[in-house]
Structure 1
């Protein structure tokens, strides 16, 4: 019997029983050395990152010193989180990422039904946080059920949480779900019964794995819209359902304020609508990267939608017939990337938009005073870059593709907040802005001495007048 072995281009032919092979430059006998790691996949990304930052001598906190000034190494911490997550999940020799996600295995095994009742587990924490940078997770969205005052918060990879005491304490509602990312929440008040809750699953802002492969295009891909009719105790899929292998996200859910059975979903591949409380969904418009969706405060037939698109100019669309037809009302520059929207009942004709550039910096603040028929620039990022790291907005770049949000005061249409790394406020309809809080006390960035709140704002929401 002939056996053919290929080693580094050399072909060795062994006849019969082959007991030993002697190669030039290699000792015979058993090789006890561990297999050499390939320079591709995870290891290639890791090597190139380390080579890039090696000359900067970045410290463990993600900073380096240049010309005597301590500077933040942009993306350094995010990469280290990504690296930590994947280094024990990839093939240790080839560097190949897993082809099957944990959520898919969970579904194959029947989910929570396979959980053993015999195991004894003790939480090792952390179980609390003192605020600031001792936080234990990223939140994508927060909503208030206005009748009860209950708060719901959706985490990027930690599920849906509920507070019944104004945020003093929280309980988790989704530990048995296959995907724990939550990007949007709709709560329907049920007098005399439990709240009806819809969640858009997945992590719309992608986090540290968005652009670094890792077997998925996002940290936490969507399984669609889930619904609970018992206040979050149990969850069932709706008619809008995905497999995690489809790599979709539900970016925004909006409830029709005139009909509790009608909900809109802006997703990574199109906008959908249900008129029967989630049983059936119809595709209203296909297209990638639909990142935000807002409804006119008094006319539920009028909708505004915006996109996130690195390769093409981002767009704002408007519908006047409940989503059946859409028209582009504002198209921005090819160098722009993401647009987020805000409306206010204080002036139902007004719509605000914040536009981020491809490098994450602020491009502009836009405003419409005619229900979104047209937009005009009221503030330029070239004046002050509100999406950067400095309190004076004098630096370049930012994180507008990752953390970007805008909210208009429901009682005063001229008061607007925007969030990125920091938070900024306008009291004159967006014409001028002041920094409200900073991500650090460091004098390098916070020479203004402003209050500190954790960096990276993914959602801004008014509860009543605050």
Structure 2
């Protein structure tokens, strides 16, 4: 009987196990499966592996990084990235004006901008300040780097400074001033031409000449529960129309597929909102004009122009609504009714330029396959192709398409009062006879026949041409390399100096990876960028509060790049650097020979194939001179090692049943030779041991709660301590283990829902940890608690995406690498004060209540003047600092975000008198 009961119990127990494991999966398991399904059915499964040439042929942006980010950052619950959450978080942070925003690695060390100070980034918005009588002062906007101002664009030594109070990660695409009030400026944000890669936040306004700014229109409003996201995200153009005593504002609001590959399963931004908008009350309220295709399907507005009779002209571009192209040209004489005048057959993006002397004459640049140019002399009643088109001297650029397949991306057209027409694509051109003939006035490189062309060397991919008021023989150009200035356009076709760079301290560079050399006497920074190659800065002064000069290896996109850190180098070769290009392409050069930029004089190609990701994941084993990199291709998930020799590298491929998705992060152990940790796109962290001995052991050490694509893996004081971060929205982004992965702790704490890219621990204060996110660096002063409190490490930093954090252990210098604001450095410190510094018996103030939630008041009976407020925890570590001004019998409220505990408050007054008191935060 007992035996029968025992068998029955075993069967019931086994059935329960099967029932609960097979039919009652945990919510985490369900979410993982959902995430995997989204990855398996990525809308970019096909296009993300296309070459640049193939992408251009399909009308896709040449940079596949944003498609890569779709897969890495999507919310596993919704199947799409959720950038609107970042927008909401940023608004909340801006409104709260947080009382505590820490330093770089701590409260004392600010972030220092380290450039590049000589290389810019993608720029579409340029405006001369109408309040500057000399017409020297210029504003420029980075597509992902905020708004900047230069006091004298004519001076190559004049620096750019960032305009604060508007957000350093704002995607500035257009800027205008009010013709009736020269102190009122407007900027539009969001770049629709890259299929939503640079998501904007609508329109901003300044009423004091660009000093302070307020958001007046646009941004995220709602989602339909699927792929349609409502809101104002992309401002293609802004125009201010003078109608006497008042000003009419017109905004071309586009819709776009966020990271689109023309698949029906994508996320669409602002399709319901796309249209022409008008405001007659300085941007307080807006009225929408719906321009449609005649069947109720809305067109996508693009360029807005005013002719010399103050008529309003509007063009269209392709829309993410299926089958909707562009090429429409509409006119309004009253700002109330818009009439379709003509359509350029087969056109997509369409740009027009009105003559400043003839109301009926316009020039047109349109994307019709490639870039086509037209002219009309009867206000678009008829449209005639120009006799010829620019024929770039570059052998790699078609004589019938000066944009080289990028007319959707770089298509400016402008004219001066003399009828000279300027267009930009890969290079710049000028015609004085309506396209009868063209002069090339810039070259992007010295490739092939370009070397013999006697014109200025100017970065490729042009977006903006703005003449200097009062002198149309001078102009400012915006392109993927930043800002350029011509002081003599008339000689630009025969001069190598007519157009020169104006990028001094214009730091809007989009880095992907960054590395800092181990030596402190001669700082070297190094990293791969968007369309500016791999950049290196040498001979920087350690600790100097300055920007740094950089120069580039190669053109195009750079990726993972690294500096040999152990000093041993490669036998018979010495110290070296790894230079990354797109996909599985890496090159080696010696550090002692990098000052000339001639990589191959003292280096070699490690590997160059189409495997891996567009911006590929990699990691260098410094001690053993081995490069590890993602080499997945198709359905084959793998990574490869490259043992770096004197003149070549030896490759070995690694795959395993546990590696069931692409690698997304690597970490080489500095404790055990031949051990590497691999993070994957589908929630795994794998430990691979004995990797160089061909009998490697694979172990899955993933946490039970892991969901998402691993973005970073860092090791603490031993392989038992591991820190892991996750790319995705909607998941727990920060994990920690102290037992080698047997158990994991969730360290998300109060961090808002935003992608986390990297993590770094303070070696001097192990409880302090910083992370790189979509909104800059965040830090916690105590990572050891169950729910860490995270605050923005904002002192000198900004709300820009931080993709990489690197540490120079010799002096604990941190390198923060951003996608849109270049590089920053700071330092980790111990921050511990002595007893004498913390405690004093002089009572010159009172704190009440002494027990609070962090909101309390400091009362001073006597006049203390400007006083420094310091708060220390019971270990003597300073956790807060600020300044307050005390008059006689004055109360000053304070609000601090600190965990529960006992703290000492110090006040140091204007006469350096100190006083301390104790508070308890519950």
Q: Which residue pairs with 1:337 in the alignment?
A: 348
Matched, 1:462 2:467: yes
2:206 touches 2:212 (CA, 8 Å); kept in 1? yes
Secondary structure at 2:349's aligned position in 1?
strand
2:341 touches 2:381 (CA, 8 Å); kept in 1? yes
Q: Deviations over 1:128-159 (max 9, x none)?
A: 443xxxx3421112111344122111221112
1:196 touches 1:231 (CA, 8 Å); kept in 2? yes
Task: Output the CA distance in 2 between the equivalents of 1:261 and 1:107.
Answer: 31
1:313 touches 1:333 (CA, 8 Å); kept in 2? no
Task: Output the CA distance in 1 between the equivalents of 2:354 and 2:299.
Answer: 23
**Which of 175, 179, 196 is matched with 1:185 structurally?**
175
Q: CA deviation at 1:119?
A: 0.5
2:330 touches 2:342 (CA, 8 Å); kept in 1? no
The worse-fitting range, judged by mean Cα deviation, of 243-252 and 38-47 is: 38-47
Q: Which residue pairs with 1:350 in the alignment?
A: 361
Task: Output the CA distance in 2 between the equivalents of 1:331 and 1:98.
Answer: 36
RCO higher in structure (CA 8 A, sep ≥6): 2
Matched, 1:375 2:383: yes
Once the two structures are superposed, the pairs formed by residues 138-217 of structure 1 within 5 Å of their partners are 138-148=122-132, 149=135, 150-166=137-153, 168-174=158-164, 176-177=166-167, 180-188=170-178, 195-206=183-194, 210=195
The worse-fitting range, judged by mean Cα deviation, of 111-120 and 223-232 is: 111-120
Secondary structure at 1:119's aligned position in 2?
coil
Q: CA deviation at 1:401?
A: 0.6
Q: Which residue pairs with 2:803 in the alignment?
A: none
Q: Which residue pairs with 2:318 in the alignment?
A: 309
Matched, 1:399 2:387: no
1:387 touches 1:393 (CA, 8 Å); kept in 2? no
Matched, 1:252 2:237: yes
Q: Which residue pairs with 1:419 in the alignment?
A: 424
Q: Which runs of 5+ in 1 are unaligned?
A: 1-11, 23-33, 54-61, 64-73, 211-217
- Report the aligned-residue RMSD: 4.1
Task: Output the CA distance in 2 between the equivalents of 1:378 and 1:236.
Answer: 43
Task: Output the CA distance in 1 between the equivalents of 2:96 and 2:460.
Answer: 39
Q: CA deviation at 1:257?
A: 3.6
Q: CA deviation at 1:246?
A: 2.3
Task: Output the CA distance in 1 between the equivalents of 2:47 and 2:326.
Answer: 30
Task: Output the CA distance in 2 between the equivalents of 1:166 and 1:95.
Answer: 47
Q: Deviations over 1:396-421 (max 9, x none)?
A: 95100111110011x201x1011112
Q: Deviations over 1:383-437 (max 9, x none)?
A: 858999538568895100111110011x201x10111122111111222223221
2:394 touches 2:450 (CA, 8 Å); kept in 1? no
Q: CA deviation at 1:456?
A: 0.9
Task: Output the CA distance in 2 between the equivalents of 1:457 and 1:304.
Answer: 23
1:186 touches 1:198 (CA, 8 Å); kept in 2? yes
Per the normalisation by structure 2, the TM-score is 0.39
Q: Deviations over 1:353-392 (max 9, x none)?
A: 111124xx12x311122334432222466x8589995385
Q: Which residue pairs with 2:92 in the alignment?
A: 109
Per the normalisation by structure 1, the TM-score is 0.73
Task: Output the CA distance in 1 between the equivalents of 2:407 and 2:145.
Answer: 23
Q: Which residue pairs with 2:680 in the alignment?
A: none
Summarize the Cα distance change of 1:115–1:140 in structure 2 as closer, same or farther, 3 Å threshold.
farther
Q: CA deviation at 1:51?
A: 5.2
Q: CA deviation at 1:195?
A: 2.0
Q: CA deviation at 1:263?
A: 1.4
Summarize the Cα distance change of 1:449–1:90 in structure 2 as closer, same or farther, 3 Å threshold.
farther
Size of the alignment, in residue pairs?
A: 403
Secondary structure at 1:195's aligned position in 2?
strand
Matched, 1:120 2:108: no
1:315 touches 1:339 (CA, 8 Å); kept in 2? yes
Please state which structure has a larger fraction of its residues in strand: 2
Q: CA deviation at 1:278?
A: 1.4
Secondary structure at 1:306's aligned position in 2?
strand
Task: Output the CA distance in 2 between the equivalents of 1:221 and 1:203.
Answer: 7
Q: Which residue pairs with 1:263 in the alignment?
A: 249
